[in-house]
Amino acid sequence: MRLVIARCSVDYVGRLTAHLGEATRLLLIKADGSVSVHADDRAYKPLNWMSPPCWLTEESPELWRVQNKAGEQLVITLHEVLHDTRHELGVDPGLVKDGVEAHLQELLADQVHLLGEGFTMVRREYPTPIGPVDLLCRDAGNRVVAVEIKRRGEIDGVEQLTRYLELLGRDPLLTGITGIFAAQQIKPQARTLAEDRGIRCVVLDYEAMRGLVRDDVLF
């Protein structure tokens, strides 16, 4: 991982244009090729970013250009570099999910029909170099579907599934793979982002999947 703190301005050129004026920011370049631009607020969310597959070209000490396969670009102008370091983080063991989330995965694997008529299971915890996909399934048309499961569906979960889909889509045996984002609750912003990326959202009823009946439906 490379960490650069610099006074910089950033221009995005793609489906639209966006400009970040000159300010001191953190530039984060990860081993997977992703580049993100951070301010000292907004928690973990970057001001702008480019997800892999993409590549960074340092055209000069003052000008960086990041481009993806779609031709979208981040053009970063460095006015003053205050800090520039590289760190080897090694292999990450991945996120250890809480009991409910792990149980959701187990239940959905046994009740894969909840994703749609004709769905069948291929494998749980399908391995990738950046972590396991919760479920790999096939739909009624025999198309491969990657499923990411969360208790609360937020934007970072959609980003996680997007990275899986981009990586798995490079495998010729998985060409045309699609995604489903499944959670007990899905925030409106996460649903909007998912649908914009062609990812279907499914809301899971944990109690019903466990075979429990709520008091308010008893008679």
Please, which residues have CB within 8 angstroms of residue 127's CB and are 6 or more apart in sequence?
none
Predicted pLDDT of residue 215: 46
CA distance 158 to 186: 10
Q: Phi and psi dihedrals of 188, rounded to 5?
A: -55, -40
Q: What is the pLDDT of residue 32?
A: 85
The pLDDT value recorded for residue 17 is 86
94: in domain: no
In a domain, 82, yes or no: yes
pLDDT of the chain, 219 residues: tens digit per residue: 999 999 999 999 988 889 999 999 999 999 888 999 999 987 788 999 998 889 999 999 999 999 998 899 999 999 999 999 999 888 776 655 555 788 899 999 999 999 999 999 999 999 888 889 999 999 999 999 999 999 999 999 999 999 999 999 988 888 899 999 999 999 999 999 999 999 999 999 988 998 855 444 433
Do 110 and 183 share a domain, yes or no?
A: yes
**pLDDT of res. 218:** 39
Which residues have C-beta within 8 Å of that of residue 12, sequence separation ≥ 6?
18, 19, 48, 72, 73, 74, 75
Distance (Å, whole) CA 107 – CA 135: 11
Question: Whole-angstrom Cα distance, residue 25 to residue 43?
Answer: 14
| Final residue in a domain of this structure, among 86, 113, 140 | 86
* Angle of CA points 170, 173, 175, to nearest 5°: 55
Q: What is the CA radius of gyration of the chain?
A: 20
Give φ, ψ of 197 to 5 degrees.
Answer: -100, 10
> Domain of 35?
2-86
Q: Of 86, 117, 136, which marks where a domain is finished?
A: 86
Instruction: Out of 36, 54, 86, pick the residue that ends a domain.
Output: 86
CA 76/CA 134 separation, integer angstroms: 36
Q: Within 52-151, where are the H helices?
A: 99-110
Cα distance between residue 194 and residue 207, in whole Å: 25
| 200 and 106 in a common domain | yes
The CATH number for 9's domain is 2.70.180.20
The C-alpha atoms of residue 156 and residue 117 are separated, in whole angstroms, by: 28
216 falls within a domain: no
> Which CATH number goes with the domain that contains 148?
3.40.1350.10
Q: Answer whether residue 65 is part of any domain.
A: yes
